[in-house]
A and B are shown apart, each in its own frame.
Chain A
Amino acid sequence: MFDTSMQPGTFLFEAWQARWSLMSGLGVTMSSSVLTIIIATIIGTIFGVALSYGWWWLRALIRLYVDLLRGIPVLVLILFTYYGLALFGINVPAFWAGVIALSAFATAHVAENLRGAVQSVPAGQMEAAKAIGLRFGQRLRYVIVPQAFRRMLPPWVNTGLEVVKGTTLLSVIGVVELLLSTQQVVARNYLIIDFYLLATVMYLVINLIIAQLGALLERRFSYLRY
């Protein structure tokens, strides 16, 4: 193994042969991750705000959603979205079924994290914002959410990492993301360890980049102290 000569059957040769499949797998992993994170951040923020300030029935509804979604394995969610929806005559392409399922999962986490972050902003902040006459939406936008955002960064980065790792589960419903494309390559050349190691390194690099971006943002918002 790790023969570096460019002969058929060597890692470098086979990796070159498989470059487009692997790149496309990597692309699918990245695009499904990014889409999921964006969707989950937007909906999760709305849900999190509703969890903190909504009418009691809305809070109860979202609470139910969050607890349900956090209690179900992601794989079950993915299978349900893909096969379950098909039973009702709703045919969602596998990629989108995966993104929907992962988003539903990540939304629950973002919502719960945001609720916790909002609650940790001292009550005096809301009162000071009221006292200068800001309306509810303005109080959230200019005072509460910016502070909650900083507190939410570490768990948000965690959710991002979970999402990237969670995309490997999409291989089960036939989405050719990085793991499945690696499996397909391995099936052709039997370089099992080489290519799984390659995939491992690629996942690691993606997640290291996310973690670094998170650390960068945390430094950027480091003036939020008490």
Chain B
Amino acid sequence: MSDQPLLQARGVRKSFGKTEVLKGIDLEVRQGQVVSLIGASGSGKTTFLRCVNLLEEHDGGEILLDGDPVGYRMEGGRRRRLSEARVSAQRARIGMVFQQFNLFPHLTAEENVMLGLTKVLGKGRAEAREIASGWLARVGLAERRAHYPYQLSGGQQQRVAMARAVAMEPRLLLFDEVTSALDPELVAEVLGVMQDLAASGQTMLVVSHEMLFVREVSHHVVFMDQGRVAQEGTPAEVFENPASERLRSFLGRFHGLLGGRAE
């Protein structure tokens, strides 16, 4: 691990109208780490994730990817917004998997994975096809290459979406509640792929309500509450020694699942 974190957020602020959703977030993700964001709905987890990938623009603080600020550059002490092309280039280094899969419905599974490879990374179609089928096989969908999204189950769609994101070889992969829209029996297959990616050393920032998964797979867990980082640490620290009443009551909701320690 190098000294410089892959992703470094300092005092990140974001408001929607008069509502301040992020009130100064400090967070680090190091190369190869899996960092999970947990917290109640509305605590700002998803908004933070979207700021990292420039789907939202943060209003204050800074987010550095490999030391470069995302979305702007400093010029004579002032922030200048990056051009469309530069923003897109930054996004290409960060992958994202969404709650609603967001596969392109007019493209087959394979074409979904190939689009970024050919149009963003400039690979030839043959090479892109090879990479795509490799990743689809890795997520267990080799047989579904030529299927359109509507012909796939939710779990399969989400696995294609993961193949699409990871095929771009992103420095950092963001997961935004990727199992929340799935039927319960389909959650395991998606978590399985995430576990596989984590084991392969992919750096990941994960927003999830799957507490077992968070506890098993994360290197670092961040509990967010009302737009702030309320507690962070290793899974053991966060799950075994919740410092605040709010974290205790949050974990209490997963009581049965986590084996009672969070009570």
Contacts and interface: CB of A to CB of B under 8 A. Distances in A.
Contacts of A142: 104, 115, 119
A219 interface: no
A138 B119 contact: yes
B95 interface: yes
B32 to A, nearest CB: 21
B106 interface: yes
Interface stretch (B34-42, B86-94, B245-253): B86-94
B104 A134 contact: no
Given A132-B120, A134-B116, A223-B150, A147 B55 contact: no
A131 B91 contact: yes
A132 B92 contact: yes
Interface string A112-149: 00000000001011011111111110100011001100
A130 B88 contact: yes
Given A131-B165, A133-B168, A135-B85, A147 B106 contact: yes
A146 B106 CA distance: 7
Interface in A172-226: 221, 223-226
24 contacts: A122-B100, A127-B55, A127-B96, A128-B96, A128-B161, A130-B88, A131-B55, A131-B94, A131-B95, A132-B91, A132-B92, A132-B95, A132-B120, A132-B168, A133-B116, A134-B116, A134-B120, A136-B84, A138-B120, A147-B105, A223-B105, A223-B106, A225-B105, A225-B150
Given A125-B104, A226-B150, A131 B53 contact: yes
Contacts of B91: 130-133
A109 interface: no
B254 interface: no
Nearest to B97: A131
A97 B108 CA distance: 45
B141 interface: no
A128 B102 contact: yes
B103 A128 contact: yes
Given A136-B84, A142-B104, 18 more contacts: A125-B104, A127-B55, A127-B102, A128-B104, A130-B55, A131-B165, A132-B116, A132-B164, A133-B92, A133-B93, A133-B120, A133-B168, A150-B106, A223-B105, A224-B105, A225-B105, A225-B150, A226-B105
Interface in B72-124: 84-85, 88-89, 91-96, 98, 100, 102-106, 115-116, 119-120
